[in-house]
Structure 1
Amino acid sequence: MKCIIGLGNPGKKYDRTRHNVGFMVIDELIQRHQWKLDKSKFKADYTIVQTENEKLMLVKPQTFMNLSGDAVRPLMDYYHIHLENILIIFDDLDLPIGKIRLRQKGGHGGHNGIRSIIEHVGSKDFKRVRIGIGRPDSSLSIIDYVLQTFPKRDTEEVMNSVNKAADACEAWVHKPFPEVMNEYNQ
């Protein structure tokens, strides 16, 4: 089974904030295929669906971002999901708005959700889709910045990157990840 995990913060207060682009990708995949997050267990909302040739789990951890590993590890253990079958989607301050980057593995890059997952799974070797949210250009703190909604002027670019990330996730269900990286890291 492959597992796609979108990171974010639970609750209406955080809907459509920069930190929740991972949730936005999961929502896009759910909408495209008329699936439902019909399970709530292990501090996560999730579903398991059968695609043409693969069982697929879609997950939105219901911990706050900094505790994402608290949801990821129990799901991995209970469903016997191997680390090579996990893809994490999250926001990245170091990428401009509208850009996505896929990576096979890496460090946390200062992202506390990724740091938590690395600590809980004991490895940096999991696939990622990083979605650019840019950096604040004012005296706004990083925390305040990531918890804000996107301004209207960025909406189209953000939705394009969410759709592109969802396309990459769908491609990974059917293709080896290096092929998907070559296709989407342009």
Structure 2
Amino acid sequence: MKIMVGLGNPGKQYEHTRHNVGFDVIEELSRRFNIPLDQSKLKGLYGIGFYKGEKVLLLKPLTYMNLSGESIRAVMDYYDIGLEDLLVIYDDLDLPVGKIRLRQKGSAGGHNGIKSTVAHLGTQAFNRIRIGIDRPQNGMSVPDYVLGKFHKEEQLQIQDVVQKSADACEACLERPFIQVMNDFNQ
């Protein structure tokens, strides 16, 4: 079984904020794959279904960003899912809005959700899709920025990048990750 995890924060006030773009991708995959997110346990909201014969689990950890690894580890242990079948989708301050970058491993780069994931998995070697949200301007604090909504002029870019990220996730179910990485990182 493959597991695709979008990082974000639970609650209405965080919907469609920069920090929740991972959740947005999982919701798009839920729609595309017709896999309802209807199970709430193991500190997450998730659904299990099939896409082109491949069993897929879509997960939104409900632990808040800084503790994301707790839910990921719990779900992976419960369903006996290996690291090679994990894909984590999250926001990245170091990429411009509208850009995505696929990687097989790497540091947390200051991202608390990834720090938690690395701590709970005991490795930095897992597949990921980083979605650019850019850095705050005009002295705005990083927490205020990431918990804020996208500006009106960024809305179309974000809609496009959510679709592109979902396309990459879909491709990961059909081809080796390294091939998908090469295709989408151009």
Q: Give the TM-score band, short-chain normalised.
A: over 0.9
Deviations 1:126-157 (A, max 9, x none): 00000000001111100000000001110001
Deviations 1:50-108 (A, max 9, x none): 22231100000001000001101111111000011100000000000000000011110
Report the Cα offset of residue 160 of structure 1: 0.8
Separation of aligned partners in 2, 1:78 and 1:32:
25
Separation of aligned partners in 1, 2:34 and 2:69:
27
Report the Cα offset of residue 35 of structure 1: 2.3
TM-score (norm 2): 0.98
**Structure 1: which 5+ runs fail to align?**
none
Matches within 5 A, 1:1-186: 1-186=1-186
Report the Cα offset of residue 181 of structure 1: 0.5
Report the Cα offset of residue 31 of structure 1: 1.7
Question: Aligned partner of 2:71: which letter?
Answer: A
Q: Secondary structure at the match of 1:68?
A: helix
Separation of aligned partners in 2, 1:52 and 1:117:
28
Q: Secondary structure at the match of 1:128?
A: strand
Q: Which runs of 4+ in 1 moved over 4 A?
A: none
- Size of the aligned set, in residue pairs, is 186
CA contact (8 A) 2:33 2:51 kept: no
Question: Aligned partner of 1:48: which letter?
Answer: I
Report the Cα offset of residue 34 of structure 1: 3.0
**Structure 2: which 5+ runs fail to align?**
none
Separation of aligned partners in 2, 1:34 and 1:118:
30
TM-score (norm 1): 0.98
What percentage of residue pairs aligned between the two structures are identical? 56
CA contact (8 A) 2:61 2:71 kept: yes
